Amino acid sequence: MSIEVKVPQLPESVADATLVTWHKKPGDAVSRDENLVDLETDKVVLEVPAPVSGVLEKILIEDGVTVTSGQLLAIIAEGAKAAAAPAAEAAPAKLEEAAPAAVAATAPAVTATQESSGKLSPSVRRLIDEHNLESVTIKASGPDGRLTKGDVLAHLESTGATDDGGDIEELTGGLADSRSEKRVPMTRMRARIAERLVEAQLTAAMLTTFNEVDLTEVMALRARYKEAFEKRHGVRLGFMSFFVKACTEALRKFPVVNAYVENNEIVYHNYYDIGVAVSTERGLVVPVLRDADQMGFAEIEKNIGVMAGRARDGKLSIEDLTGGTFSLTNGGVFGSLMSTPILNPPQSAILGMHKIQERPMVVDGEIKIRPMMYLAMTYDHRIIDGRESVQFLVAVKEALEDPSRLLLEL
């Protein structure tokens, strides 16, 4: 029986998608719910699973084509079996006698890796495609013999690949062609990121205000309770939960920072959906913590960890990325000491975190070494005045320098 594989219903805000890559070819056996093809929208990569088990009979849409909801992609012959591969020529008798144990030992490992290659996560597939690798040549360490991103990166490092995504000879073009160039079209996601950043520059009156925060108390609190916290909640106590809590408390005091402009109106939110920027191989995405003000530290840390993992594996949905009221971005993880973040439209403010650096500070008339971080808040000056932006940032600073204020909601 022939079963149609169609583009799933796309979210209301997404008109179409681009077919990125097929993971099966005609004649291949497929299992129910196995990912057949990746579709890239402006925001996320969607996987299209096989509706039944059988054999992929026909592919109707090739890579790079734009598709819409309900469009026919392929045909699966339900219940069919893939044609058996032709038997390899028998090895000479002497070789069979010389190394039967070695052949028997290596065959199962290759088979397991080949089987796992059809179940690669999007991030692993992209690495393999970008570097023109064969999955069967990479040692897998994941569950059920699956390849992980770490396996691919370790393989690249062992073979002399660079961090830029190619080996040295490929990037330089060799000594004879050291000034070569390469043109690569933007992905839909990168093009959408570029569009939104330009939109923010053109539509908002952006201004950035700065402050610095002494994280001595936060770091002491983490050091004191990190083991008990992780044992109790099963997640590490990071810095981001402190910043999310500090921002939600500051947003309560200055609701205009949690608002946005729509035509000639200011829309105020009575809820706090905090976006947390996550860097992925395909670009920056900002998944949203819903009702962050109602979460405890452990719940915030768990949700951030889950969202970051889903973002890097291309598993985020459109709903995960829409509807935020305020955003946080942490350039400090990459070593940034100071920056001016760009608004995430239609939001009116974003807080930039930076590298924690020990600096000499005057404390009670004495010079002491303190772990300091610069904070930068970019805001839409159309609705947020300088006074409110500065007071908001001071409220965040005070909450972080005295974390007990977060517990007492002061």
Please write the tens of the pLDDT for every residue from 290-343.
999 999 999 999 999 998 888 888 778 778 888 899 999 999 888 899 999 999
CATH class of 92-172: few secondary structures
Distance CA(140)–CA(112), nearest Å, equals 9
Beta strands in 118-215 (DSSP E): 206-214
Residues with a catalytic annotation lie at: 381, 385
Fill in the amino acid letter for 254.
F
131 and 164 Cβ atoms separated by less than 8 Å: no
Please write the tens of the pLDDT for every residue from 132-168.
777 777 877 766 677 777 777 777 767 655 444 444 4
**H/E segment holding residue 377:** strand 366-380
State the span(s) of the chain assigned CATH 2.40.50.100: 1-86
Residue 359 has pLDDT above 90, yes or no: yes
**H/E segment holding residue 241:** helix 240-253
Per-residue confidence (pLDDT) for residue 119, from 0 to 100: 59
Query: What fold is seen in the domain 190-408?
Result: Chloramphenicol Acetyltransferase (3.30.559)
* φ/ψ of residue 135, rounded to 5: -60, -30
State the span(s) of the chain assigned CATH 4.10.320.10: 92-172
149 and 127 Cβ atoms separated by less than 8 Å: yes
**What is the CATH number that goes with domain 1-86?**
2.40.50.100
State the span(s) of the chain assigned CATH 3.30.559.10: 190-408
Residue 409 has pLDDT above 70, yes or no: no
- Confidence band for 107, pLDDT divided at 50, 70 and 90: very low
Please write the tens of the pLDDT for every residue from 26-59.
888 888 888 888 887 766 777 888 888 888 888 8
* φ/ψ of residue 17, rounded to 5: -145, 160
Bigger pLDDT: 113 vs 391: 391
